[in-house]
Amino acid sequence: MKSTGIVRRIDELGRIVLPIEIRKNLSLASRDAVEIFVNEDTIVLKKYEPACIFCGSMDNASLFKGRIICDKCLSELKKTETN
């Protein structure tokens, strides 16, 4: 992990402000979704990119019954339904 040297305080509502330099580097715009991961004592923020709930692929992913699923997994599900 690369240190930025930037320190921010958490406000009374638990919020922090991501510096504009970091938002620009990661192509984060206002209202973009961010995923939060925890690994032991480390918090990792990642720009949220929707992916298939089965295989994690982002290729040809679309919404199906409220869930994101790629074309490949959708066709596999259709095959199992007919068997």
**pLDDT per position as a tens digit, 30-51:** 999 998 999 999 999 888 888 8
Is the pTM higher than 0.75? The answer reads no
Mean pLDDT of 57-79: 87
Q: What is the pLDDT of residue 83?
A: 64
Q: What is the pLDDT of residue 77?
A: 86
Residue 11 token pair: 């406000």
CB 18 within 8 A of CB 12: no
CA distance 29 to 41: 27
CA distance 34 to 46: 5
Domains annotated on the chain, with CATH: 1-48 (2.10.260.10), 50-83 (no CATH)
CA distance 14 to 29: 20
Q: What is the pLDDT of residue 26?
A: 87
